[in-house]
Chain A
Amino acid sequence: MTDTLPTRTAAFEARIKQRYRSEQRFKALGLTAVLFSVAVLLFLLGTMLLNGAGGFQRAELRVPIDFTQGSVSVDAATLAQPDALQRLQAQGLPELVQFSAATELGEPGAEELSAEAWREVGSAIIADPGLLQRKATFDLPASSNLAAALAGEGKPELHGLAQTLSSEGKLAERFDPGFLTRSDATDPQAVGIWGALKGSMLTMLVTLLLAFPIGVLAALYLEEYAPKNRWTDLIEVSINNLAAVPSIIFGLLGLAVFLWLFPNMRSAPLIGGMTLALMTMPVIVISGRNAIKAVPPSIRDGALAIGASPVQVVFHHVLPLALPGMLTGTIIGMARALGETAPLLMIGMRAFVATPPDSLTAPATVLPVQIFLWSDEIDRGFVERTSAAIIVLLVFLLVMNGLAIYLRNRFEKTW
């Protein structure tokens, strides 16, 4: 009976082989899908890093200036005034800078000095009035045309000049710390992200101050006290829906409601923060409820058993235990708000803002909007600057997400 019915016929073997091959193919397909996604991510990050590395640099001309020769003589008291730069301009600082550049670089080279270069000299004088008594060497921004020529692009007639100056060591790409401390400008050589970064921080501050307390309190109410009736159902449904509403709709809401209430606060961090808070609040409520759910009932029962009131149970026992989980959700929600652009475009935060905002109601822009505005510029220099700003934004997001992961691991408890 043993050998009469051969089960492993040739056809059977072939079918098995075929099935194993298809198994292998399927597995390879899955791996390809994952690797493709990772590859796109790497390509994206790589493009930004390659472009952005140049964005932290700028083409600078080395110009020695002998202040003792010029007619610029301003005392220290004047320099302490807020309009010191205008005074220096009236004293002929731009001309002195231009003259020094012409002596050092020759007329054609001096013409390619950025028109705003004297401002940097002026700021240096304001920071150190003693400069006016001596000779000093400055690294001043070149015009964007010369910067493009140095990179081998742009106007061909400038290529020769750029090469001569650079071989003499008078023109070079140098790391530009000012990129992190200046604000928006029309010239890619003169822009910085500090204004946008400050606007982002102020906006995030408003968002956090509004969304966190409201979100946590709403989560506590819904999870701990809410009776099960039509009203609380309505609240639940609207929170879940709000979490999935496209962000641009929140921009329309901000435009129609907040700007109608406060018409002269266009592009203020306050309005932006309020709009983003409405968007972030549902995220915080949903994650907060999960954190509260994870607190075991025995803790509540124990507290109730020794005579605590329901409010005491929640605020003394449940909330402290659920807070780390809530914080994780809050950080993730804030990270999303930090990268959000569309709703802020709606409420007018796409204005050109050249000074960092100094209050919650001053016109401001935020980092993602700044990236969007720069991406519209045609100048080649802005491509690098945009990528550099993107790197800064991504670093912030990575830090926030990293913090959320750390908090999750640090406070993760199994009861």
Chain B
Amino acid sequence: MSSSLLLLLMLGLGLAGWLTARARAWGFRRRGHTRLAALPSYHGWYAALSIVLPVIAFIALWSAIAPGLIDRAVLAHPAAANLPQFDFQRNALLAQAYSVARGATATVSLPEAATLVEPYREALARYNLIGILATIAIGLAGGAFAFLRLKPDFAARTRVERIVMLILLLASLVAILTTLGILVSLVFETVRFFGMVSPIDFLFGTHWSPDPMSDPAAVDGSRYGAVPLFWGTIFIGAIIAMIVAIPLGLMSAIYLTQYAHPSWRRTLKPALEILAGVPTVVYGYFAALSIAPLIRDAAQALGVANASSESALAAGLVMGVMIIPFVSSMADDSIAAVPQAMRDGSLAMGATKSETIRRVLLPAALPGIVAGVMLAVSRAIGETMIVVMAASTAANLTANPLEAMTTVTVQIVAMLTGEGSFDHPATLSAFALGFVLFMVTLALNFIALRVVKRFREAYD
């Protein structure tokens, strides 16, 4: 579509409106009205906004409905009469003819598509013209509306500011819309999934092996038991990763805030922050390439016969390293929030630094640290790429960290990047898993924020 052309047109019309309206306002001033109700540039902005806002609304609407209109026009064309009825084939033909018609690709590879190129060209040209003409008409109408209202005593600034406030409000509503969008899309697909597989089977079953190729009409609910996935997620994200991240993160925070020389701190802290900035796909590759073989070899050297190269341990360890800077910065904040008087009091009693830290600072900072750990857990169980690359897709209910295990996020990726259709329970199960993940992370975040809030009040 020529959306970019329409947008350029919109900018041009808006600029023209701004210039003419401002010139008109200056004209008022020259004709003796020395006191305008608003500065001339506000008159300009009023006209520009009256043009641009309706046009943006039109372009958004138009780019949503125009492809449908074009498709319908082409299907009504005689050349489309002998298209195959089967949706998938027909859509492939249409898509190819469309991409040739708008010049994205040079030639068609399916011969049947060639006859459709011309009708597409015609329809495209016709609807592009309609779009451009409508844009100009709407722009001119908006401009005329604004222009007729410009008078020396017209309070343009108040109007402009009211529109600006409205735009600000709309921008902040995007967050609510996104949350709502997440909830609606997850709940909608989850309900469809639970129409095919019972929630009891899903939440309490211990056997996970969905078959995307099976008949969607005859679903075997016993293959959709998600308990092994929940266990794998908790084992990798909340147990192994935290065994690495909590002690290392906490001790790093303590050392950097209490012991390290300022110059050391200046170099070591950014180094930890780099660890937080490394993309998760790099960690995943690192886990799969370096750590997993290392662990397998070590396990074999220790006499474990069937050590797998895709182990829960490799994914968990690397994920723990990724979380270290997160835990350490949270611990850093909550230790810094402990009043200096408590520290001084302990030191004055003759306690050593480490005794002060262990007996005074840590207990006082504990709620903050716990909240930080909860946020870290929520981040770890939502983490995708590390487990996709280093853990396996085999659902396995075991406590042996050397065995292959799979997690909720791995299965979401596996179910949605396969070949299955959107109506199949195997595909829809990804949304149900996503919904569970969303609710769990939400709960963890919520509790953590509550804990932090209550803790902050204690010393204020």
B393 to chain A, nearest CB (A): 13
Question: In the complex the two chains form, what is the Cα distance from A252 to B182 in whole Å?
Answer: 8
Q: Is the CB of A217 within 8 A of B382?
A: no
Interface flags for B32-61 (1: CB within 8 Å of A; 0: not) read 000000000000000000000000000000
B171 touches A214 (CB 8 A): yes
Most buried by A among B256, B274, B449: B274
A40 to B442, CA, bound (A): 31
Query: Does the CB pair B176–A220 fall under 8 Å?
Result: no
Cβ of A47 < 8 Å from any Cβ of B? yes
Contact A27 B175, CB 8 Å, known A33-B251, A346-B416: no
Across the interface, B168 reaches (CB within 8 A) one of A218, A239, A248, A362, namely A218
Bitwise interface map of B from 137 to 181 toward A, beta carbon under 8 Å scored 1, else 0: 000000000000000000001001100110111011111101101
Asked whether B288 is an interface residue with its Cβ less than 8 Å from the other chain, the reply is: yes
* B6 on interface, CB distance cutoff 8 Å: no
Give the contacting residue for A37; candidates B248, B285, B441; CB below 8 A: B248
Q: Would you give the 0/1 interface string for A261-291, flagging 1 where the beta carbon is closer than 8 Å to chain B?
A: 1001000000000000010011001000000
Task: List chain B residues, Cβ under 8 A from A394.
Answer: 278, 282
Q: Are A238 and B353 in contact (CB under 8 A)?
A: no
Inter-subunit contact B104/A362 (CB<8 Å): yes
CB–CB A38/B384 < 8 A = no
Distance A278 CA – B174 CA, assembled complex (angstroms): 8
Quote the shortest CB–CB distance from B427 to chain A (angstroms). 10
The number of residue pairs between A and B whose CB atoms lie closer than 8 Å in the complex comes to 256
CB pair B255 A27 closer than 8 Å: yes
Q: B248-267: contact bitstring with A at CB < 8 Å (1 yes, 0 no)? A: 11111011101110000000
| A44 at the B interface (CB under 8 A) | yes
The answer to whether B413 touches A342, judged by C-beta atoms less than 8 angstroms apart, is: yes
Q: Which residues of A contact B325 (CB under 8 A)?
A: 37
A311 touches B165 (CB 8 A): yes
Choice from A48, A217, A393 contacting B171 with Cβ under 8 Å: A217
Contact check: which of A37, A225, A253, A359 meets B104 at CB < 8 Å? Answer: A359
The answer to whether A241 touches B248, judged by C-beta atoms less than 8 angstroms apart, is no
Q: Is the interface of B mostly helix, strand, loop or mixed?
A: helix
A residues less than 8 Å from B449 (CB atoms): 240
Least CB distance from A202 to B in Å reads 13
Residues of A within 8 A of B178 (CB): 238, 242, 253, 278, 281
Which A residue sits closest to B322, measured CB to CB?
A40
Is A67 part of the contact surface with B, judged by Cβ < 8 Å? no
> In the docked arrangement, what's the CA distance between A394 and B438, Å?
29
A82 within 8 A of B: yes
Partner of A83, one of B106, B172, B255, B383: B106
User: Given A247-B384, A252-B185, A342-B413, does the pair A311, B255 have CB atoms closer than 8 Å?
Assistant: no
Contacts of B409 in A (CB 8 A): 246, 248, 342
Q: Does B62 contact A (CB under 8 A)?
A: no
In the complex formed, the residue of A with least CB distance to B383 is: A246
Of A16-24, A69-77, A121-129, which binds chain B? A16-24
Q: Could you tell me the distance between the alpha carbons of A256 and B188 in the complex, rounded to whole angstroms? A: 10
Q: Which of chain A's residues have a CB closer than 8 A to the CB of B95?
A: 264
Q: Which residues of A contact B173 (CB under 8 A)?
A: 235
- For B412, the chain A residues whose CB sits under 8 A away are 248, 252, 346
Specify which of B321, B389, B445 is in contact with A241 (CB 8 Å cutoff).
B445
A226, B281: Cβ atoms closer than 8 Å: no
A30 and B178 alpha carbons, distance in the complex (Å)? 42
Residues of chain A within 8 A (CB-CB) of B274 are 41, 398, 401
By a CB distance below 8 angstroms, the chain B residues around A278 are 174, 178
Report the contact-size class of chain B (Cβ under 8 Å from the partner). Answer: 35 or more
Query: How many residues of A are counted as interface, with CB atoms below 8 angstroms from the partner's CB atoms?
Result: 90
A2 contacts the other chain (CB 8 A): no
Stretch at the interface among A58-66, A94-102, A160-168, A333-341: A333-341
Contact A245 B182 (CB under 8 A): yes
Query: In whole angstroms, how far apart are the Cα atoms of A310 and B164 in the complex?
Result: 11
Asked if B106 and A285 make an inter-chain contact with CB atoms under 8 angstroms apart, the answer reads: no
The answer to whether B175 and A235 have CB atoms under 8 Å apart is yes
- A238 near B438 with CB under 8 A, answer no
Given A249-B437, A252-B412: A285 and B275 interface contact (C-beta under 8 Å): no
The docked-state distance in angstroms from the alpha carbon of A397 to that of B98 is 38
Interface string of B395-417 (1 = CB under 8 A from A): 00000000000000100110011
- The closest CB in chain B to the CB of A210 belongs to B174
* A5 at interface, CB cutoff 8 A: no
Q: A261 to chain B: which residues have CB within 8 Å?
A: 64
11 other contacts beyond A37-B275, A252-B431, A372-B385, with CB at 8 A cut-off?
Answer: A221-B172, A241-B179, A246-B381, A249-B434, A252-B430, A264-B95, A285-B172, A339-B282, A342-B388, A371-B285, A401-B277
Can you give 28 contacting A-B residue pairs, CB < 8 Å?
A: A31-B259, A33-B250, A37-B324, A40-B275, A83-B106, A222-B172, A234-B176, A235-B173, A235-B175, A238-B179, A242-B175, A244-B445, A248-B382, A248-B413, A248-B434, A249-B182, A249-B438, A252-B412, A252-B434, A257-B181, A257-B185, A264-B67, A278-B178, A281-B174, A281-B178, A339-B277, A339-B278, A375-B281
User: Considering the complex of A and B, which 10 residue pairs feature the smallest CB-CB distances, nearest first?
Assistant: A246-B382, A339-B279, A30-B255, A256-B185, A33-B251, A217-B171, A26-B354, A342-B384, A221-B168, A218-B172
A residues touching B (Cβ–Cβ < 8 Å)? Answer: 19-20, 22-23, 26-27, 29-34, 36-38, 40-41, 43-44, 47-48, 51, 82-83, 213-215, 217-218, 220-222, 225-226, 232, 234-235, 238-242, 244-250, 252-253, 255-257, 261, 264, 278, 281-282, 285, 309-311, 315, 335, 338-342, 345-346, 350, 358-359, 362, 368-369, 371-372, 375, 383, 386-387, 390, 393-394, 397-398, 401
